[in-house]
Structure 1
Amino acid sequence: MQTSPAQDEQTGPVHVGAPLAPLTTLRLGGPAARLIEAPDAGTAVDAVRATDESGEPLLLLGGGSNVVVADEGFTGTVVRMTGGGTALERRPDGSVLLTAEAGEDWDAVVAATVAEGLGGLECLSGIPGLTGATPVQNVGAYGVEVSALLVDVDLYDRRTGAVRTHVPAAELGLGYRTSVLKNTDAAVVLRVRFALPGGGASMPIAYAELARTLGVDPGSTVPAEVAREAVLELRRGKGMVLDAADHDTWSAGSFFTNPIVDDAAVPDPAMPRWPAGEGRTKLPAAWLIQQAGFAPGHEGPGGRVGLSTRHVLALTNRGAGSTGDLLALAREVRTGVLDRFGIALHPEPVLVGCAL
């Protein structure tokens, strides 16, 4: 990484031609024209304001776990959130208000709450990335979504140039792996608050696979630390816990979202599925991919990329891949599912400078 000789008094050192691949879990993508690291909310706001004044394109980067960057890189300024910090406040009703800075590592937040004897977030263990990204994506796993516990956020509104505090979760348009904050840089999340129940029990175990692993009936609760370890075990078995030595984990997590279709469009009445509102059904993308003929380990161009050997929803960089290779594999899978079932899969990661 090369740092320019000049330093902005407000934003700190500016890194010119900074490689972005090492800052993503895929280890793919070209360089940024400029990279500014923001160790706190104030620095982040100053950096974004300066970029807006200059008219440069802006990319907000957290842990790089849900982003696919073009091989050509990014021609503008990347502001990378690096500042952390958390606080817990016991409330009169017995619940606990958790405040976390956007730059705090997400799994560290989950681990800390469980260590404090607090349940609520345990099913979201092992998810890479930073806390500020969780409401943007409405992160979810094993039957729990951020929306179930999110109280509000502080954010910088680029349209007005103002910092807005305590923006209610209800205003964020939280849906399945989405929000009004996704696929737009109109606002920058600076701080996030969650309401935890206050006890040491997990959230009700809603996900059948997790319930089987724990040996309990769906809807039961277990100690939060027990649920966390079970979730981590399941994620490791699918290559979904980052390991620098394991190419099966060099991914952006689940590359495709589970499609939600009209009940009449369900391709096989015997397939696994979940209700998704009146007249709508959520289908498992992994099942569709495998039934379309793509087995774990299916190779993309030149074997440089491939489906994980443990989980077909993860598209992985085998160490020498490019973003072009990854997108070619994604297109192959998407086309195969469309041809077989007539159902279009949609990518979950944010695509920067590239498209399917």
Structure 2
Amino acid sequence: MRAAATTTDPRLSVHTTLRLGGPAGRVLRAEGADEVVDAVGSADAAGEPVLLVGGGSNLVVADDGFDGTAVLLAGRGLSYERAGDAVVVTVDAGEDWDDAVAATVAEGLGGLECLSGIPGRTGATPVQNVGAYGVEVADLLVDVDLYDRRAGIVREHVPASELGLAYRTSVLKGNDDAIVLRVRFALRADGGSAPIRYAELARTLGVTPESRVDPAAAREAVLGLRRGKGMVLDAADHDTWSAGSFFTNPILPAADAPVIDGLAAWPAGADRVKLSAAGLIQNAGFARGHTGPGGRVSLSTRHVLALTHRGGGTTADLLALAREVRDGVADRFGVVLRPEPVLVNCHL
């Protein structure tokens, strides 16, 4: 008989990195794929809505909470299989993401090191097509195992090509019909990292763009950069009480993009350009540490893209600050910033 998911603290604030949000109807802790399927299946049978929670690093939960079952992904596990010149690593959806990255680097495998220090669970990475420092999940993803809620079956080895992976999104985002159970990545086994494409990281490592380095060296450099921006979790540091980057970098037709001295911009396909959301925010007059209602929330003191909880705040406070920033950028430059985290029972 399979073990069942266990009931745990219903307060979603204790399960999210923002430390905000009201309670769920119930919270079930699932220690592996079988328990995830059982927990979700039991909620579906009862007609209850389901919220999947990994590390809670990409969730903004309403103060009213979530009227349904939240399932905590807590299963752990990695395995490796040689596939030609690569090694395919299979990771359980509940595995802590940075632990998984650290494990692959310790094995001498290259590819994931630039995604070091990102909080959350592995199952969320293809949903969001997580990316940082010139690498994104789409570059390395082989396939996933999914629980198809409508059919009530597990679909194994669903190819990455079927997931609609794009900038910080996929067909899985905002769609709870399919739940990630396992993820597989093809990694380099030749002792080298992924090509270093991000200029700031290349400068930190002292190499030219497109160089490859020791994966461990790249990981340490990335962790250092992220710590400097308050992007590595630390319970004692309110700059890390956030959902990471709150707004995505907007992609616009090149003809519609505002021209701003010093604003970072990158090509994004035919006649399109990706603009720096952080640059837009700063140029709209919002500085690091800009406070929201009562000083209970603020922009990070180290990175304007992170909206942080300073203690004693509410989700309503955070959303008020997010609206102020969004509207300020829109009024100044005519560009509407879109939120990156998942908003649960709330909206901008």
Q: TM-score range by the shorter chain?
A: over 0.9
Residue 248 of structure 1 aligns with an amino acid whose one-letter code is D
Any conservation in 2 of the 1:11–1:36 contact (CA below 8 Å)? Answer: no
1:118 aligns with 2:109: yes
Tell me the CA shift for residue 9 of structure 1.
8.2
AA aligned to 1:329 is L
Alignment of 1:50-69 (within 5 A): 50-69=42-61
Q: Tell me the residue number matched to 1:78.
A: 70
**Partner of residue 211, structure 1:** 202
Work out the number of aligned pairs and report it.
Answer: 347
Tell me if the contact between 2:32 and 2:74 (Cα under 8 Å) persists in the aligned partners: yes
> TM-score normalized by structure 2?
0.98
Deviation of the 1:198 alpha carbon: 1.2
Supply the distance in 1 between the matched residues of 2:313 and 2:194 (Cα, whole angstroms). 39
| 1:13 alignment counterpart | 6
Q: Are the equivalent residues in 2 in contact too, given 1:102–1:132 (CA < 8 A)?
A: yes
Q: Report what 2:268 is aligned to.
A: 276
Mean CA deviation greater in 252-261 or 44-53: 44-53
User: What is the identity, as a one-letter code, of the residue corresponding to 1:331?
Assistant: R
- Conserved 8 A contact 1:28-1:68: yes
Partner SS, residue 123 of structure 2:
helix
Change (3 A) 1:226 1:12: closer
- Percent of aligned positions that are identical: 69
Q: Which residue of 2 aligns with 1:337?
A: 329
Residues in 1 aligned to 2:315 and 2:59: alpha-carbon distance in whole angstroms: 11
- Hey, what does 1:189 align to over in structure 2? 180
Partner of 1:312: 304
Q: Which amino acid aligns with 2:109?
A: L
Letter in 2 for 1:133: A
CA RMSD between the two structures: 1.2
Mapped pair 1:224 → 2:225: no
Conserved? CA contact 2:59–2:243, under 8 Å? yes
- Residue by residue over 1:175-234, the C-alpha shift from the partner in whole angstroms, topping out at 9 and shown as x without a partner, is 000000001111110000000021221111111111111111111111111110000000
Q: Which runs of 4+ in 1 moved over 2 A?
A: 8-15
2:191 to 196, 200, 216: 200
Select between 214-223 and 325-334 the one with higher mean Cα deviation: 214-223
Taking the aligned partners of 1:298 and 1:155, their CA distance within structure 2 comes to 41
Q: How does 1:143-182 map to 2 (within 5 A)?
A: 143-182=134-173
Which letter does structure 2 place at the counterpart of 1:309?
Answer: T
Quick check: 1:10–1:46 contact (8 Å CA) kept in 2?
A: no
Kindly indicate whether the alpha-carbon contact (under 8 Å) linking 1:177 and 1:348 is maintained by their aligned counterparts in 2.
yes
2:127 counterpart residue number: 136
Q: Deviations over 1:26-63 (max 9, x none)?
A: 00001111111100100110111111111111111111
Per the alignment, residue 3 of structure 1 pairs with none
The structural deviation recorded for 1:94 is 2.1
Distance 1:159 1:33 in 2: 22
How far apart, CA to CA, are the structure 2 residues paired with 1:215 and 1:82? 38
SS of the counterpart of 1:164?
strand
Aligned pair partner of 1:256 in 241, 247, 257: 247
| Structure 1 position 237 matched with structure 2 position 228 | yes
SS at match of 2:42: helix
State the SS of the aligned residue for 1:203. coil
- Residue 10 of structure 1 and its aligned partner are, at CA, apart by 5.9
Q: What is the identity, as a one-letter code, of the residue corresponding to 1:268?
A: V
Distance across 2 between alignment mates of 1:9 and 1:225: 39
**What is the CA–CA distance in structure 2 between the aligned matches of 1:31 and 1:191, rounded to whole Å?**
27
- 2:25 corresponds, among 23, 33, 37, to 33
Residue 161 of structure 2 aligns to a residue whose secondary structure is helix
| Structure 1 counterpart SS, 2:176 | coil
Letter aligned with residue 61 of structure 1: V
TM-score, length-normalised on structure 1? 0.96
Distance 2:142 2:302 in 1: 35
1:298 aligned partner, one-letter code: H
**How many angstroms apart in 2 are the aligned matches of 1:100 and 1:199?**
21
Question: For the residues of structure 2 that align with 1:107 and 1:172, how far apart are their CA atoms?
Answer: 23
